[in-house]
Structures are given as C-alpha cells and as structure tokens.
Amino acid sequence: MIRFIALGTGATFPTENRNHPSFYFEYKGIGILFDCGENTQRQFRIAKLSPTKLRYILITHWHGDHVLGLPGLLFNLANLEYNKRLGIILPKGYKDRLLELIKIYEIPIDYDLDIIEVEKDGIVIDEKEFYINAMYVKHSVPTLAYYFKQKDYWRLYNSKLKEYGLYGKHGLLTHLKEKNEIEYRGKKIKIEEVGYIKKGFKFTYITDTLYFNRLIDFARDSDILVIESTYIGDPEKAKEHFHMDFSEAYKVFKNSNSNIMLVTHVSQRYEEYLDTIEQRVQTYDGVYLIRDFDKFWFEKNIITLELQGKTVKYLRDEKSGKNIKI
C-alpha cells in the first residue's frame, strides 16, 4: 500500500492554515519525507504519524522553508530511540552544512545517518521494489526535483500457467521472469504469452523552479504529480523569483501525460483567495489544490484522494498506468 499526507503546503511564509513544505509518503511501511520545513514535527503529531517510520528524507534545496524543520526532527529521532538507517538526500555542497548544524545544536545522533549529496541527475535510491530519481532544476540555489517509481514487474496469469503446465513451478517461473523466455517440454515459451507487465506507481515532486521543458520528461506518466504554483496568473513575477506560475505547472502536467496534479507552494499573497483558486484549478481535469493534511492512498488499483474532507476516487489500470475517475 502507498499512502501520502501533505504536512505542509505553504511557501516561504507559513500561514495560519498552511505550513512550510513537507510531504510524507509511505510505501509498504517505508516512510519517505519530501522536504522538512519548520514545524514538520508538530504536523506529524497532528497527522498521527510516527517519524520513526522514516527511512529517507529528500531535501529539494537549502531554503529555510524546505529545511528549517530538519534539526528538530533529527534531534527527536534520537530521543525516540530511532534504530533504522536514515538516508538524507541533498543537493551538492550541503552535506557539511547539515553536519555543522548537527554539531551546533549538539544533536546526539546515535542512529545510522547516511547523508548523500546528489552529484548528477539520475537514480539516488535503488531498493528492491522501487527507486528514486532526482534531477537538478532551475531555482536561485541548487535544487532537486524527485520522483518515486515502483518498479514495473511481470504479472503471470494462473490460467495460462496451468495451460502451459507451469503452474506452481517456482524455479522455472523465476527463470522466465529473469530471461523473458524458457524452454519447457521441448517448447519455447515467451513471457508475454503467459503474462503482462504491471506498471509501477509513479509519484513526482517538483517545487521551487522556473519552468523548463525537461520537467515534462521528468514527470512523464506520473500517477500523482505534486507541483508548485507559487504564482497564479503572473508568469512574469514567477520568472523574476525563479518560480512557476499555475499555467506553467499545468503545462508540465498536461504534456507529461500525468494523471493527477496536486498544486502546492502557492504564495501567501493569495491566502484570502485560496477557495477561489481551488475552484478555478478544479475546472481542469485531474487538477486539485492541496492543503495541509490532505492525503491520498493507493490500494487494490484504487487511488483515493481525501482533500479537505472530500473524497475522490480513481481506478488505475495496471497495464496502461492510466487512472480513470470513478
């Protein structure tokens, strides 16, 4: 099961209802935090989540709104007798700063801490069932976008396996999955004759960047795309401040063939108009504004979004990776 909770959907200035950026994502019990703005720990408590589930913290960049919560979180992980190995992924050049902070705050790290600087675009975490890819984007300081991708895998039809006499023959089936072809009872069997590829879930997080074309390839075929729209209807201002306007974020969504777009990091200047913005963005298919504590979960081919208490469901076709609203 995959689940996600937005812990902070604000931008530079937290507001009464929107915290600094921070997003909790969980895959089969493995917790992954995207950014860690100020007050993230309290958001964890309100969301009734335990930070001890965390295995990775992915930091987009070293601007306060995205990192100010990090020392506090590391401090309390020690107090919570955290005993896993924690991986922190950062843009190049920031490892020393983090180590310095740990020293300055005298944080008693007694767990395995693995701080990794991203040298170049590509896979930064490679686990058995998923990987995480990072790409440098265009902001005023070195900044990364990330995506989580569940690895594609072969699903075999039981009926076909029975037909070919392969049902229950685990050794042979492992071999078939590795080689895509086996010889059995004097006959060649290709894997596509007995199964299909199940497309793995893709979750993409893009924030604090100018619009540029490569964002489209990076977000390609996302099930869920969380993307910044710091500005609404003001692409000139967005450019000036190294951010995106909603129209640009939407372009990334549309052209990348992604399924669901969740808009975040909307500037506090629009705070009193958020309800109007929410209605406006929802006129686009698959587009939603997210606020703190909004969530989604993915189970048995259904993606359920819970946004401000309202529920929306999508049925996911595992062969095509397409999501259809139900």
- Residues assigned a catalytic role: 65
Cβ within 8 Å of residue 266, ≥6 positions away: 9, 10, 11, 229, 230, 232, 274, 277, 289
Contact between residue 180 and residue 172 where contact means Cβ atoms under 8 Å apart? no
Cβ within 8 Å of residue 186, ≥6 positions away: none
Q: Does 38 bind Zn ion (CB under 5 A)?
A: no
Min separation Cβ 279 and Zn ion, Å: 24
Q: Does 20 bind Zn ion (CB under 5 A)?
A: no
Which tokens in the block code for residue 151? 């690895």
Q: Where are the alpha helices (DSSP H) in 142-207?
A: 158-163, 170-179, 191-194
Q: Which stretch binds Zn ion (CB under 5 A): 57-65, 215-223, 268-276, 308-316?
A: 57-65
Q: Does 63 bind Zn ion (CB under 5 A)?
A: yes
The radius of gyration of the chain's CA atoms, rounded to the nearest angstrom, is 21
Q: Which stretch binds Zn ion (CB under 5 A): 2-10, 167-175, 185-193, 201-209?
A: 201-209
Q: Which stretch binds Zn ion (CB under 5 A): 33-41, 58-66, 190-198, 254-262?
A: 58-66
Q: Which stretch binds Zn ion (CB under 5 A): 61-69, 127-135, 169-177, 268-276?
A: 61-69
According to CB under 5 A, which one of 26, 35, 38, 208 is a site residue for Zn ion?
208
Contact between residue 265 and residue 9 where contact means Cβ atoms under 8 Å apart? yes
Contact between residue 26 and residue 53 where contact means Cβ atoms under 8 Å apart? yes
Contact between residue 46 and residue 72 where contact means Cβ atoms under 8 Å apart? no
Instruction: Return the axis-axis angle of helices 70-79 and 95-104, rounded to nearest 10°.
Output: 60
Min separation Cβ 128 and Zn ion, Å: 33
Contact between residue 99 and residue 128 where contact means Cβ atoms under 8 Å apart? no
The interface with Zn ion within residues 64-83 (CB under 5 A) comprises 65
For Zn ion, which is the closer residue by CB, 65 or 294?
A: 65
Min separation Cβ 34 and Zn ion, Å: 12
Min separation Cβ 243 and Zn ion, Å: 8
Min separation Cβ 62 and Zn ion, Å: 9
Q: Does 292 bind Zn ion (CB under 5 A)?
A: no
For Zn ion, which is the closer residue by CB, 26 or 208?
A: 208
State the residues that interact with Zn ion by CB under 5 A. Answer: 63, 65, 208
